[in-house]
Amino acid sequence: MAAQTADLIVVGAGQGGVPLAVDFAKAGKRVVLFERKHLGGTCVNVGCTPSKAFLASAHNAGRARAAAAIGVHCDVRLDVPAVMKRVNAIRGEWHDGVEKRLRDASVQIVMAEAHFVGERTLEGGGVTVKAPIVVLDTGTSPACPPIEGLSEVPYFTNETFFDQTNLPRRFIVVGGGYIGLELGQGLRRLGCEVTILETGKRLIPREDADATEVLAKALRDDGVDLRVGRQATCTHGPGEVSVRLDDGTEIKADAILVAAGRTPNTGALDCAKSGVELDERKFVKTDAHLRTTCKGVYALGEVAGQPAFTHVSWEDYRRVKAVIEGGTRTKDDRVLAYCTFTEPQLGRVGMNEEEARRKGRDVRVVTYQLEDDARAIEWNLQRGFYRLVVDAKSDEILGATLVGYEAGEFVHTILAHMEAGSTWRVLERSVHIHPTFNEGLPSLARKLL
């Protein structure tokens, strides 16, 4: 069959691909978008949206229980089917909204897995299209970690977890990264018995050890059984899974959730047919402007090896769009922030001390404990600390780690200072409202005086 022609082909209806397709189509360009599973990609269907809706119920239950410590006794009765129904309704609305945006803009949607059949030419679902510009936004999929027996055991991943209409009583979560900790704590707060198994030496190793220690203690206090640094073997019998640890312990459960790393969705693309090279980890190789090794083909978001966050993929879209239109944006021209949505949260922006020292920076580091914070004391939310890393000579703010109640919100204050190129001295002289959690940030900077 002869190839159709288009002005732009987008492969993957993820966070960057959708707005790019819509913008070009609205500008009168002919755009074809291939999507093999669900419009909106991971975030909307099986990532941020369902997980945060799930955590909203879980953390409300946790907060209601914790209120007893300040004299408010709540009778927490869980309606888990209602929780899951709400999760599914919210992600359904977002999914439908994405579809409407694409259709309203007259993007041609092909619901099929696409692969290259030639230079800037893709085929999928019986449709073959050639275009001068191709953008790959194919994301990643959950990886199966090398745990003996795991591949023979039925398990959930984020792709299937939110399809549940009720929750089994006992869960083993494999993976002590941010997804494993968030969903593990969520499951526990919604009434499940939960074991989180991390075979590596530490939870979220890119974070400061004392920051992850605060999270570990919070999860343990919730009743999560955390097993870190243990090797394991999995087996399953009728209606039950079992994990034997290298210390001889056996943990039985009704279900396993695997949240232990991601692999890039490049296997099906047959990138070589278009001269698009992959790196040694099978991510698409891109230069600073998100251009691949084939002229006219760009990659963005997770498949381009970018940090695995929705706001990164979305921001990449603005960069790719600018580059296609002759601009010079690069993939690193931004301050990166992110959050682990456990309670307490871990909000991060820029570099931590270890990363800054690795980059050869001469740093000063200060820490402010929330146990000394007025708002935290009044609300009985003293778990955590705020930490600032600054350049010892220029006073530039290099990064911050905030662990505490809604810390993912407050980290934006630091982000704004960093984007504005201000120094810790500007933060120090800012007078924040008393008593707020944000008031802790100038107090933190004052420790540098």
Ligand X SMILES: Cc1cc2nc3c(=O)[nH]c(=O)nc-3n(C[C@H](O)[C@H](O)[C@H](O)COP(=O)(O)OP(=O)(O)OC[C@H]3O[C@@H](n4cnc5c(N)ncnc54)[C@H](O)[C@@H]3O)c2cc1C
Residue ranges that bind ligand X, judged by CB under 6 A = 11-16, 34-38, 41-43, 47-48, 51-52, 113-114, 137-139, 158, 179, 265, 268-269, 301-302, 308-311, 313, 341
Q: Which is nearer to ligand X, 92 or 149 (CB)?
A: 92
- The pair of structure tokens assigned to 296 is 């006219």
Write the DSSP string, 45-74. Answer: HHSHHHHHHHHHHHHHHHHHHHGGGGT---
Backbone torsions φ then ψ of 412, nearest 5 degrees: -70, -25
Q: Kindly state the smallest distance separating residue 162's Cβ from ligand X, in Å.
A: 8
> What's the closest the beta carbon of residue 360 comes to ligand X, in angstroms?
29
Say if CB 375 and CB 436 are below 8 A apart: yes
Q: Which amino acid is at 70?
A: I
Residue whose CB is less far from ligand X, 136 or 363: 136
Name all contacts of 58-63 with Cβ < 8 Å and 24+ positions apart: 58/83, 58/185, 58/186, 58/187, 58/188, 58/189, 58/190, 59/186, 59/189, 59/343, 61/189, 61/190, 62/185, 62/189, 62/222, 62/343, 63/343
3-state DSSP call for residue 353? helix
Closest to ligand X by CB, 51 vs 195, is: 51
As a whole number of angstroms, the distance between CA 210 and CA 382 comes to: 15
Nearer to ligand X, 11 or 232 (CB): 11
For ligand X, the closer CB: 30 or 36: 36
255/239 Cα distance (integer angstroms): 9
Question: Per DSSP, which regions of 331-378 are E strands?
Answer: 337-340, 345-350, 363-369
Residue pair 300/330 in contact by the 8 Å Cβ criterion: no
CB closer to ligand X, 93 vs 250: 93
Minimum distance from CB of 382 to ligand X (Å)? 25
Write down the least CB distance from residue 115 to ligand X, Å. 6
Nearer to ligand X, 341 or 386 (CB): 341
Q: How far is the CB of 47 from ligand X (least distance, A)?
A: 3
Q: How far apart are CA 9 and CA 21, in angstroms?
A: 8
C-beta of 43 vs 376, nearer to ligand X: 43
Bond into 19 cis (ω within 30)? no
Nearest to 52 by CA among 321, 340, 252: 340
Q: How far is the CB of 181 from ligand X (least distance, A)?
A: 11
CB of 396 to ligand X, least distance (A): 26
SS3 393: coil
Residues whose CB falls within 8 Å of the CB of residue 384, separated by 6 or more in sequence, listed in order = 214, 344, 370, 402, 403, 404, 405, 407
Question: Closest approach of Cβ 265 to ligand X, in Å?
Answer: 4
For residue 177, the minimal CB distance to ligand X (Å) is 10
CA distances, 207 to each of 176, 195, 315, 340, 392 (Å): 12, 21, 23, 11, 21
- Report the residue number, 193 or 302, with the smaller CB distance to ligand X: 302
